A and B are shown apart, each in its own frame.
Chain A
Amino acid sequence: MHLLQVQNGKTVRVIKINGGQGMVHKLHQLGLLPGDYARVLRHAPLGGPVMVEVGGRSIALGRGVASRIEVVDDGLEPI
């Protein structure tokens, strides 16, 4: 499952990021790494970005980015 397929309000765990160096670098900067929990806040209309909350910070991720972030719903919540 990737981030685009997650419904609003759900918390999922990031397992893998299938992006190039530039994308992984930027995500590292904003503190979104494999192992982190991300809560999907909303999907923008017209095929726009996805807004997620990670580590208390809200981040907008374009569709191209979000589709490359593999996640699982392990039923756990971040502490």
Chain B
Amino acid sequence: MRFALVGQPNCGKSTLFNQVAGYRAETGNFSGTTITYTSSKVRVLGEIVEVVDLPGTYALAGTNPAEREVLCYLLSNPVDVIINVLDASHLSQGLNLTLELLELGLPVVVAANMMDEAARLGITLDGVKLQVILGVDVLPLIASKGRGVRNLFKTALEAAASGKVPIRAQYSLDIETEIHRLAENLDGQSATIGPDSMAIKLLEGETTLFRRIEKQVPEINTLIQDSRNEIETKRGRPAIFALSAERHGLAAQYAKQVVHQGERRVSKRDQLDRIFLHPFWGYVALVAILWVFFQSVYHFGSIFEGPILAYADDLTRLLVAHIGQGTLLAEILTGVMQGISGGVAIVLPYLLPFLFGLGFLEDIGYLPRLAFMMDALMNRMGLHGKAIVPFILGYGCNVPAVMSTRLMEDRRDRFLAATLATLVPCAARLAVVFGLVAFYLGPQIALLIYLFNLLVIAATGRFLSHILPESAPGLILEMPVYRLPVLKTVLHKMWFRAREFIVEAWPLLIAGSVVLALFSWLELDHVINLISRPLTWLLGLPSEVGVPLMFGILRKELSLVMLRQALHVADFATALSPVQMISFTVFVVFYVPCLATLAALKRELGGRAMLAIALLTVLIAVGAALIARGVAMLFL
């Protein structure tokens, strides 16, 4: 038996899921995409049930790739009951989605969540009346405290067992006529939903179902177009909007009948926006929050990184001594160990606290505020406030940064945000900046490189937004109320995001290290140095730097390790001038994202976009390194 959790963003759906799932939850990919959902086996009244937590969406016709998967999933997988989680404090908004779910012809149970928050806002809900109106069970829930969870799942199990399908609300007569006309041609076309539901979704422009039905009923395209035209001429707006406007009106009407708005208690929480969104104090808070965030991640990480790497080095030496120094096997083993320890030293100490902090800021409701405050600035780079998330993630690791662009509606915005995010120096590149520039030339110069980086990103954004004119209108983002994060949910989110890195990026990290080991064993160094000589000459670097630069593509932080090997020195100051250090570092900061990031770019945006971004970053890197070199020559 399978239960699907469906609800709008910020309705507490994932909190409910984590209450029942525990840590046995599994992630799965929607077929053919990188978008993941989580599911878990849960025991309800002695029966084992699979609970699937689908992405939050405001409506079934989603505007971004993650949202669109919800309907896709419901159309192609057998679901025994939909548990619709509804934020009781925004009932009329939430009912829009509920009305859509009732149309699908699947058993539905409604969970009115956040009853405590509704009470705080002076809202009382007549659950019995709502139950009568909707024709399905409505249960009170406070997911954050685990209240009402047992009862909800018990009722859901009963609903699933009875298989009773709710009766959908009726649209106006003219729309119903078109629905019926289409539905007549759709009998038996779907195993999961009925003909009426299919007709409604096809009118709204659903594509997966359409492609499937088109094969059986070739004339369906003309039929849909006719019906859409009919509605559009009568209503003066496209069919999809005519339908959603009717549901919106109905939802508001229902809400009016069951919601009683009493006196609202003003709490400290309502006052928070006065600080966080204040024209002056808001920015002070923003800088302070991000500063504390990055400082704690950095300090936490540096406690563990050294010992982990030292331990791995000892272990490698021990293993190599067993096998015999200089053999092929020993080289490969060293490569594998470097890949593993590199991952452990990045993931555990830096990425985990980073993702924990991010999840915390997200769940408390600060990230949307950050988007609000940064929107004006991001506009100047041709993006809107939402793109701040991939940016911040980029400082940890570019892979999750690129993945996070899927929350943006527009393909052009996703491309632009991903391109700029790959220019953000990740933790691995931080190691190069710190290990070379900060160590030999002082932290001020390192800071200057970071500021220069921001400048280049801004310029690139401006340039790209000129050639790719804006198609999306700008920021449209819900500002959820501030909430105390539930530790379990934050930990869960951290773990799932870290797992994306482990599955996607780590194997490539290890493979890259092995290739590296093979190259050095086969002594192919000088071939690479020769090929890359034009570039190293242009940047005023010794030709030996070619190998570290080439292999920095496999693993960014390796470019520093490799540089030491390539130059055969322990102290960089004896082999490189300060100017050379600066142009090397600046080039490393910008050029070609690492292999794992390239893979993420290919999956999110396609092969051509990946190549375009890689090429662009090389051009930017050469330009930026030349500028930095010129400036450095003037002052150093």
Contact = CB atoms under 8 A, between A and B. Distances in A.
Contact of A60 (B63, B238, B385): B385
Interface in B238-259: 238, 240-241, 244-245, 248-249, 252, 256
Interface string A35-62: 1000001101111110100011111111
Nearest to B472: A22
Interface string B153-169: 00000000000000000
B375 A58 contact: no
Contacts of A27: 476
A23 B476 contact: yes
Given A30-B58, A79-B256, A19 B479 contact: no
A33 interface: yes
Residue among B245, B282, B373, B477 with the highest chain A CB neighbour number at 10 A: B477
B372 A31 contact: no
Contacts of A79: 256
Interface string B370-382: 0111011101000
Given A22-B409, A26-B476, A31 B241 contact: no
Q: Chain A interface residue count: which class? A: 35 or more
B238 A44 contact: no
A27 B379 CA distance: 20
B473 A19 contact: yes
A49 B370 CA distance: 12
Contacts of B479: 51, 58-60
A62 B409 CA distance: 14
A47 B93 CA distance: 28
B375 A28 contact: no
B277 interface: yes
B61 interface: yes
B379 A25 contact: no
Contacts of B477: 59-60
A56 B90 contact: yes
A-side interface mostly: mixed
B245 A28 contact: yes
Interface string B85-101: 00001111100100000
A31 B96 contact: yes
B241 A64 contact: no
Contacts of B375: 44, 48-49, 60, 62
A22 B410 contact: yes
Contacts of A47: 376, 379
B92 A56 contact: yes
B59 to A, nearest CB: 5
A45 B375 CA distance: 10
A60 B240 contact: no
A15 B603 CA distance: 41
Contacts of B63: 22, 25-26, 29
Interface of B: 58-59, 61, 63, 89-93, 96, 121, 238, 240-241, 244-245, 248-249, 252, 256, 273, 277, 279-280, 282, 368, 371-373, 375-377, 379, 384-385, 409-410, 471-481
Given A23-B472, A60-B479, 12 more contacts: A20-B471, A26-B63, A30-B476, A31-B248, A33-B244, A33-B248, A47-B379, A51-B277, A51-B479, A57-B478, A61-B475, A65-B473
